[in-house]
Amino acid sequence: MEKVIDMSVTVESLSRIYHRLRKEVNGQLVNEGLSLSKMKILQLITLGKTSATDIKNYMGFSSRTVVTVLDALEKDEMLQRQQSPTDRRVKHVYITEKGRDKLEIAQQTHRAILERILAPLSESQLEKFSEICSALEASQR
């Protein structure tokens, strides 16, 4: 039990670090018309997640949230939706050239902020941290 209590302090610290990171990244990306969530959705689209349902399932967002974000990205000409030729209930989502350009800027911004925040950690600490996160995430599947 004491181990769990001690770890709760660590988990709270990690949560604060994540929220600061998210706030800083979103603050920087707003100038590009993006947010961290929009950036992640654009990344998913480039990886082959091509429908709102795929995005919803991966991101853990509600259908309404996904549709709202996709509408905004489409309005800003960063993505395009097309009806599936085989299933009229499905619309596939494609990133546009403008979306790719914005995604590249967003990824560079995100990477620079992450590098700055994680700079105090050694290479071996970063590797251990990555292993720990992977193990915890795998146990949740």
Q: What is the DSSP string of 115-130?
A: HHHHTTS-HHHHHHHH
d(CA 62, CA 40): 15
* C-alpha 2 chain-centroid distance: 33
What is the H or E stretch that residue 13 is in? helix 2-29
pLDDT of residue 3: 64
Average pLDDT, the chain: 89
* Per-residue pLDDT tens digits for 109-133: 999 999 999 999 999 999 999 999 9
For tokens 């990555």, the residue is 130
pLDDT of residue 8: 87
Contact between 12 and 66 (Cβ < 8 Å) = no
> What is 2-139's CATH number?
1.10.10.10
* C-alpha 52 chain-centroid distance: 15
